[in-house]
Structure 1
Amino acid sequence: MLTIYHLNNKIAVITGGTSGIGKATVEKLVTFGTTVVLLARDIQKAESVKREILKTFPNGKVDIFAGDLKDLGSIKSAAEEIKFRYPQIDILINNAGGVFSKFEKTMDGFEVGFQVNHLAHFLLTQILLDNLLKSNDARVVNLSSEAHRIGKFRVGNLNAEKKFSTWMQYGAIKLMNILFTKALANKYGEKGLQSFAVHPGVVKSGFGANNGGFLKYFNKMPFLITPEQGAETSVYLATQSKEKLSNGGYYKRCQISYSSLESQDLVAQDQLWEISMKLIKSYL
């Protein structure tokens, strides 16, 4: 049985909270008395989720801000609004993500998977960092995947322009999620920030539905777990006392696990941080 620390009056910001794992995470955190700040591309869908939650938990607190991970300008605007509205933030869950079957660039000029899964969340985290550091129990949860084990960190091809492969790029990005997690812990752990990477499991969450071919039918596979099961580890990391958790750790099934050797490379962690900071510089 999980031990839940007191979440009343805590502020949690989450991306991708309108469906799948993210929605299940939002629903659970609301029951613990957390004010959930939902950063969503589809405001109507977010409002529908909010109404659904409040029917069951009338005293629940859900605040919605418009932000599209494919548009760094909108992420900057939303993050600045959140930063102003909530001077102290306790939990940031970078939950949204996806896999993309073909090479495509966003309006910002980045490969869509690289931006949606890593760079937009990196920007969001940087803008909210000061507010997180005002909390005496700040934590960042980054959704990664066991797919990180097939990923390679190639400084010259982060944007996949030289060579693109659906699964190799997805694996590389999930590796970046862990490199980013560990870099956060190394750089800000002494200031009280904890960061964690999560493998949620293979979840029936709409993953891959934006594509054709095999990916379109991925969610019909019989071995998939439910979004509620997939959300368990994120909720665990948001609700356990920090003394029970390992800063910078990679978690699955609510337990610390071993990530790949490449994810533990301190040079790669610093390189990704420095490159990402350069890429988002104009948005800070």
Structure 2
Amino acid sequence: MKTIVVTGGTSGIGQALANTCLGRGDRVVVVAPDPVKGKKFLDAAQKAGAADRAVFIEADLGLVSENRRVIAEIEQRFAAVDVLVLCARYFRSRRMVTSEGIEHNFALYYLSRYLLGYGLADVMNKAETPVVMNIAGPGAGVPGIRWDDLGLERGYDGWVAMFQGGRLNDLLGVSFADGGSTRRARYVLLFPGGTRTGFAGEFDVATAAHIDQMKRVAQPVEFTVPPILKIIDAPPTEPLSAFVEGTPLSLLHPAFDKRAATRLDTITRQLLRDKASAS
């Protein structure tokens, strides 16, 4: 029985994966912000006779403090974590800053994934074949990272924020995989293809219309689960892998530049130190 942690596990791809893993006998820890959806997950597990393998942790992963609380709780409750699946994401047409002073998309889509991956590395080291599965958009051909404005204070656009978040996660995977023997978990970046999910967010009129069009041509969410399970059950041997709709992506792609990854890692560590000293 694997212990699988799924962020954003009460909707979309995360929900479909969590339910499938629970149904096949895994222990599933869902981390999400909505207690009502969390209760539905636990109630369904109870009806299926799987209550002892279902855990819900309510958390706003847009906050650094909440990520740290989740890490501490998981470390306390579980001897080992086999799989960490990072699905949590929330689109915003208008810029929003968290109560900790960080732009929300950067905080949730990138910084949370950074914190959870590194924060759970020790407990994942205790698993037999640990894997971090980052559901993002590896190698997307979008404009470069705004290094001087990661919080997009100037000219915020929801799509720019989302695509930049994908680029940041590419570099996160590079940095994590460079940990050598200190981190045993394989890091996998995966874009499963356009998927008919709830696409959580707050949209302006034009974006809402575009999202509706995307949903009409997207694949059912159930189609995304088998490829993810395949990787979970037989992780690649390489420290870092990237897949786009099942096709491996070369790590020679510019999106995986090691110098840029080191630059981002340095910026992120300094940001976290500054937040810690200010609290």
User: TM > 0.5 between the two?
Assistant: yes
Pairs within 5 Å for 1:162-173: 162-173=154-165
| Residues 232-243 of structure 1 aligned to structure 2 (within 5 Å) | 232-240=226-234, 242=235
Quick one: distance in 1 between partners of 2:206 and 2:225?
A: 24
Q: Residues 183 and 273 of structure 1 are in contact (CA less than 8 Å); yes or no, is this contact kept in structure 2?
A: yes
Query: SS at the partner of 1:177?
Result: helix
Equivalent pairs counted in the alignment come to: 274
Shift of 1:235: 2.3
Indicate how the Cα distance of structure 1 residues 146 and 74 shifts in structure 2: closer, same or farther if over 3 A, else same: closer
Aligned-pair CA distance for 1:20: 0.7
Q: 1:128 to 1:121 in 2, by over 3 A?
A: same
CA RMSD of aligned residues (A): 2.3
1:44 corresponds, among 33, 36, 50, to 36
Q: Superposition pairs for residues 75-94 of structure 1, below 5 Å?
A: 75-94=67-86
Provide Cα deviations, 1:214-236, integer angstroms capped at 9, x if missing partner.
33241454211112123333322
Structure 1 residue 145, shift from structure 2 partner: 1.7
Kept in 2, the 8 Å contact 1:136–1:192? The answer is no
Give 1:3's aligned residue.
none
Q: Secondary structure at the match of 1:222?
A: helix
What are the equivalent positions in structure 2 for 1:218-237 lying under 5 Å apart?
Answer: 218-219=211-212, 221-237=215-231
Distance 2:180 2:46 in 1: 36
8 Å contact kept, 2:121–2:185: no
Tell me, in whole angstroms, the C-alpha distance in 1 between the residues paired with 2:220 and 2:95.
29
* Whole-Å separation in 2 of the counterparts to 1:224 and 1:180: 27
User: Which letter maps to 1:229?
Assistant: F
TM-score, with normalisation over the residues of structure 2? 0.88
| 2:111 aligned residue | 119
- Relative to structure 2, which stretch is displaced further, 214-223 or 135-144? 214-223
Does the residue aligned with 2:134 lie in a helix, a strand or coil? strand
> 1:150-189 to 2 correspondence within 5 Å?
150-188=142-180
Shift in Å, 1:152? 1.6
Give me the whole-angstrom Cα distance separating, in 1, the residues matched to 2:276 and 2:12. Answer: 29
Q: Which residue of 1 aligns with 2:268?
A: 276
Q: Deviations over 1:2-51 (max 9, x none)?
A: xxxxxx1x211110000110001101212332111111111221120232
CA distance in 2, matches of 1:216, 1:60: 39
Alignment-mate amino acid for residue 236 of structure 1: K
Whole-angstrom distance in 2 between the partners of 1:19 and 1:260: 33
The 1:38–1:250 alpha-carbon spacing in structure 2 relative to 1, beyond 3 Å, is same
- Secondary structure (helix, strand or coil) at the match of 1:36 reads strand
Partner of residue 202 from structure 1, selected from 191, 194, 218: 194
1:134 aligns with 2:136: no
What is the TM-score with the length of structure 1 in the denominator?
Answer: 0.87
Give the corresponding residue for 1:4: none
Unpaired runs of 5+ in structure 1?
A: 1-7
Paired position in structure 2 for 1:5: none
- SS at 1:176's partner residue? helix
Conserved 8 A contact 1:17-1:39? yes
Unaligned runs of 5+ in 2: none
Deviation at 1:209, TM superposition (A): 4.4
CA distance in 1: counterparts of 2:143 and 2:192, whole angstroms: 17
Which of 110, 125, 136 is 2:102 aligned to? Answer: 110
Letter matched to residue 248 of structure 1: L
Q: Give distance in 1, aligned partners of 2:143 and 2:73.
A: 35
**Deviating more after overlay: 249-258 vs 221-230:** 249-258
CA gap of 1:146–1:187, structure 2 versus 1, over 3 A, is closer
Indicate conservation of the 8 Å contact 2:34/2:58, yes or no. yes
Deviation at 1:175, TM superposition (A): 0.9
Matched, 1:69 2:68: no
CA deviations 1:94-113 (Å, max 9, x no partner) are 11113221121111111111
3-state secondary structure, aligned to 2:195: coil
Q: State the Cα deviation string for residues 58-109 of structure 1 (Å, max 9, x = none).
A: 4771111121022221221122111111131111111111322112111111
